[in-house]
Structure 1
């Protein structure tokens, strides 16, 4: 499986992506809105889980590294996890190296993943969660027609601090209305 546009390509995480995966998950500035940076052992376990083969019946994350086509560098990833197979609801999440944030890369990746989720996987709804302090993420979600559905008080612990998160949703039927 490969998803691409003129700037980026998305392909499933594989065993050769270990160094890249470790770099992201152990970097404090990158992880500031996600969780505490992981230790080597925590990252290794996460990598083993996320690099397994995935299909629509899986309960794990489909993790797709984002590669800039022009330079061939992996700059982040976007991921999808089916939360409710019967209702066809999946969570999406994304993370980028700080050096490429604000350049439209996450936007391109989210567009590709939305199309794949709704057209190929035939999902009904995508949801996403982000810290209320992560304006870049929630603005990106809103740009892509996600609707803020909730604010969850003290729902995530980052650096020994409880933070609120926003919950966003995008139904396939709403997307058709937005087109």
Structure 2
């Protein structure tokens, strides 16, 4: 499985994604809105879990690498996890490396995953959760069409501090027949 736009390609994690994933997991600046940075061993274990083969019935993440179509450079990763198989609801999450932020790569990746989720997987809804302090992330979700559905107080524990999170959702567009 591979998804692509004019500038990027998304493909399932493989060993070439390990270094960037570990870098993300161990970087305090990158992780400040997500969770406390991992140790190297924790990051390696997390990568092994996230890079497992995925099927529609999986309870794990479909983890995709975001790469530049022109250069092959690894720009980040994005994932999708079905959290309610019966209601066809999946959560999405993404990380873009510092040098690639603000250039539209995350928006392209999120649009590709949204299209894949609705058109190929026939999901009903996508959700996302982000810290109220992660302005870049929640502005991106809103730009793509996600609706802020609420604020969960003290929902996450990041570096021994409770953080409020926004919850976002976007539903499968319904086609109204005339």
TM-score band, normalised by the shorter chain? over 0.9
| 1:140 equivalenced with 2:140 (yes/no) | yes
1:67 maps to: 67
Which has the higher mean CA deviation after the structures are superposed, 24-33 or 123-132?
24-33
Partner Cα distance (1:38, 1:69) in 2 = 30
1:121 maps to: 121
TM-score between the two structures when normalised by the length of structure 1? 0.95
Deviation string, structure 1 residues 87-108 (Cα, Å, up to 9, x no partner): 0000000011111111100000
Partner Cα distance (2:25, 2:73) in 1 = 17
1:163 maps to: 163
Deviation string, structure 1 residues 112-138 (Cα, Å, up to 9, x no partner): 000000000000000000000001100
Deviation string, structure 1 residues 23-74 (Cα, Å, up to 9, x no partner): 1111111111111111111111111111110011000000101001222111
Alpha carbons 1:33, 1:134 under 8 Å: kept? yes
TM-score between the two structures when normalised by the length of structure 2? 0.95
Structure 1 runs not aligned, ≥5 long? none
1:53 maps to: 53
1:104 maps to: 104
Alpha carbons 1:29, 1:98 under 8 Å: kept? no
Partner Cα distance (2:29, 2:70) in 1 = 25
Partner Cα distance (1:22, 1:47) in 2 = 7
Partner Cα distance (1:98, 1:30) in 2 = 8
Alpha carbons 1:88, 1:123 under 8 Å: kept? yes
Structure 2 runs not aligned, ≥5 long? none
1:154 maps to: 154
Q: Secondary structure at the match of 1:11?
A: strand
What is the total number of aligned residue pairs between the two structures? 176
